[in-house]
Structure 1
Amino acid sequence: MGLCKCPKRKVTNLFCFEHRVNVCEHCLVANHAKCIVQSYLQWLQDSDYNPNCRLCNIPLANRETTRLVCYDLFHWACLNERAAQLPRNTAPAGYQCPTCSGPIFPPTNLAGPVASALREKLATVNWARAGLGLPLIDEVVSPEPEPLNTSDFSDWSSFTANGTPEQEEITSASAAPSFYGQVPRPPASPSRPEQHTVIHMGNPEPLTHASAPRKVYDTRDDDRSPGLHGDCDDDKYRRRPALGWLAQLLRSRAGSRKRPLTLLQRAGLLLLLGLLGFLALLALMSRLGRAAADSDPNLDPLMNPHIRVGPS
């Protein structure tokens, strides 16, 4: 269990594997729509996660996603295509999560931001409207643009905006009339060779840690009170020294602002100091008076001639 950092400050057991923070369902829908989110206990058992879609093995951040009530995340196009392949007479219980075999349709008595967002998304397709008990609609198919296969290009320098190689540009330039004048290109410097970016998308990405997680989203205001200190997520689970609390206490008190004392507080402070000084003066005079009495010969009974000390 943990406390979400949003202004609602709700206690939750959901944990974002990418940002390593506790999140409630409101923040999950608003700010972590494409993050891997599961329970905090699962993160303690195994913090590894797969940032790709389980159906197409493409990163989740590249396409539109949808989250089921079991908090598993998929591309909406992949999930829609998989469910549309089932027979039309499939019962609602037959539509299951590809990962955990849980129900795709949220229960009718389940309320929350995740369930509401899932119902709104499912209401846009006919196979889901039949499972939700809604009338069918005319679907408008809007095909998503296919990602460009970059494995066909050896380097990006030969790729132009119109999709024509650089060779065609050179051919068209040579066919132009000579009176236009050709501007000579400066020779390339041999000391700084041109670098090209080659992206290979044929091999699927392995299951690894996210090497560079995105910036942690913090919905709290930046104007914090002087007594509060920032909760750094990188140091949250690091082992702390035994006397670390003492150094933190001294640091917080040294950095806090000192408010001026009021007139009543000043009077009370002066009265307390005067009382302490008076008690110290009494103790000092008592000690000095006792020392003077011990060394006074008139108070010594053995020196008094009227007092005889001896056997009777």
Structure 2
Amino acid sequence: MGLCKCPKRKVTTLFCFEHAVNVCEHCIVVNHPKCIIQSYIRWLHDSEYKPNCGLCNGPLESEECVRLICYHVYHWRCLNNSVYEQIGKRTTDDLPDFKCPDCNKLILPQDKVVSPVAAALREKLLTVNWARSGLGLPEIMNEEEFKPNSELPLQHLKKNSPPMQASKLRDDVVLHVDENMFPTSRPEETAQFPRRVGHGSSNSKLLLVEEDESKYRRRYSIFAIPRWLKSIGSKVCSLKRNPWKIITVLIALFVLWLLFSLTGSSSHELNETNLT
């Protein structure tokens, strides 16, 4: 027995196995509609659980669920299919007592049972005729329809189905790709296209692209050296054609050397006078 964490702060014996917290029935309906809920004492004896439907063994999160008054939770689709299998060709006057597949308690809540879980269950049961007949209510025309268990939702099939292997793909699916659809690009951009696995022709084309790329890079590096030397030679030739530039540079260097020498000698003489 513990205290619920919700604002109602009710004392409860129910325990959420998934979140490991005490919960009241109000919290179960609002915050834990698909969690495994049982007594706290049962959790102390065995805390292991599987968040799966007890009828199809699929994850509870994959479909809409309904919780019985015994707190067992099932897929709403699976529970209806199970009940219709029990009904068979029986008439409404000869319906069996629908019971929970796990604990054999009655699915239909009695009138004296008043709780948030029972209210949510009654609201869901009013949408199907088998439950309305058991509760003494007239049948409805727009009954909720359900597909057989074999027709699971697409999302559930994707989770349980193994991934498709590349070896099982048809050859014509890959061979019918039109390579003219790709725009013309430089060799270094062409090598960035993904590989196509399983065909020798595509691999050979990719190798040719990589080989062309390496040749292009080598050719570019070989041609870059003569261009660099040629640019240096052109600058030297321009200086030879105009000798006044050379004379001006030499005069400027001489003036700088003279200034540095004069400043160095003057500083040396000042140091000697200070020492004397």
1:43–1:179: structure 2 CA closer, same or farther, 3 Å change rule?
A: closer
Distance 1:6 1:166 in 2: 57
Match of 1:173 among 169, 177, 184: 177
Map 1:32-71 onto structure 2 (within 5 A).
Answer: 32-71=32-71
Deviation, 1:151, is 3.6
After TM superposition, the structure 1 = structure 2 runs for residues 35-114 of structure 1, keeping only pairs within 5 Å, are: 35-87=35-87, 88-89=90-91, 94-114=97-117
| Aligned-pair Cα RMSD in Å | 2.9
Q: Distance in 2 between matches of 1:142 and 1:39?
A: 32
CA distance in 2, matches of 1:52, 1:179: 48
Following the alignment from structure 2 to structure 1, what is the Cα–Cα distance between the partners of residues 60 and 181? 54
Cα offset, 1:187, TM superposition? 5.8
- Alpha carbons 1:93, 1:103 under 8 Å: kept: no
Contact 1:13 1:40 in 2 (8 A): yes
Residues 95 and 182 of structure 1: is their aligned pair in 2 closer, same or farther, counting only changes over 3 Å? farther
How far 1:137 moved relative to its partner? 1.3
Residue 173 of structure 1 and its aligned partner are, at CA, apart by 2.9
TM-score (norm 1): 0.52
**Are the structure 2 counterparts of residues 182 and 59 from structure 1 closer, same or farther at C-alpha, using a change threshold of 3 Å?**
farther
Larger helix fraction of residues: 2
Q: CA deviation at 1:140?
A: 4.4
Report the CA distance between 1:15 and its aligned residue.
0.3
Residues 148 and 182 (structure 1), Cα distance of their counterparts in 2 relative to 1, 3 Å cut: farther
CA distance in 1, matches of 2:181, 2:100: 68
User: Residue 13 of structure 2 contacts residue 22 of structure 2 at CA under 8 Å; is this kept in 1?
Assistant: yes
C-alpha contact (below 8 Å) 1:69/1:106 kept by paired residues: yes
Q: 1:145 aligns with which of 153, 156, 168?
A: 153
2:164 aligns to what?
Answer: 154
Are the counterparts in 2 of residues 66 and 75 from structure 1 also a CA contact under 8 Å? yes
- Specify the structure having the higher radius of gyration (Cα): 2
State whether structure 2 residue 8 is matched by structure 1 residue 8.
yes
* Structure 1 position 24, deviation (Å): 0.4
TM score, norm. by length of structure 2: 0.58
**Rounded Cα–Cα distance in structure 2 between residues aligned with 1:106 and 1:26:** 17
Task: Summarize the Cα distance change of 1:36–1:179 in structure 2 as closer, same or farther, 3 Å threshold.
Answer: closer
Q: How many residues are aligned here? A: 181
Residue 22 (structure 1) aligns with? 22
In 1, Cα distance between the equivalents of 2:116 and 2:171? 54
Deviation of 1:145 after TM superposition, in Å, equals: 2.8
Letter in 1 for 2:136: G
- CA distance in 2 between counterparts of 1:85 and 1:114 reads 25
CA distance in structure 2 between the partners assigned to 1:40 and 1:180 by the alignment: 64
CA contact (8 A) 2:53 2:73 kept: yes
The aligned amino acid for 1:13 is T
Deviates more, 1:67-76 or 1:85-94: 85-94
Unpaired segments ≥5 residues, structure 1:
159-164, 190-312
Instruction: Describe the shift of the 1:171–1:66 C-alpha distance in structure 2 as closer, same or farther (beyond 3 A).
Output: same
Q: Which amino acid aligns with 2:127?
A: T
Q: Counterpart of 1:34 in structure 2: which amino acid?
A: K
**Within the alignment, does 1:186 sit opposite 2:192 as a pair?**
yes
State how 1:273-312 maps to structure 2 within 5 Å: none
Displacement after TM superposition at 1:57 (Å): 0.9
Percent of residue pairs identical: 50
Identify which of 116, 119, 124 aligns with 2:119.
116
**Higher relative CO (CA 8 A, sep ≥ 6), structure 1 or 2?**
1
Give SS of 2:119's match: helix
- How much does 1:43 deviate? 0.8
Please give the per-residue CA displacement for 1:15-60, whole angstroms capped at 9, x wherever unaligned: 0011010000010001101100001111111111122111111111
Q: Report matched runs for 1:186-225 at 5 Å.
A: 186=192
| 1:216 alignment partner in structure 2 | none
Query: Does the CA contact (< 8 Å) of 1:92 and 1:105 recur in 2?
Result: no
- State the Cα deviation string for residues 237-267 of structure 1 (Å, max 9, x = none): xxxxxxxxxxxxxxxxxxxxxxxxxxxxxxx
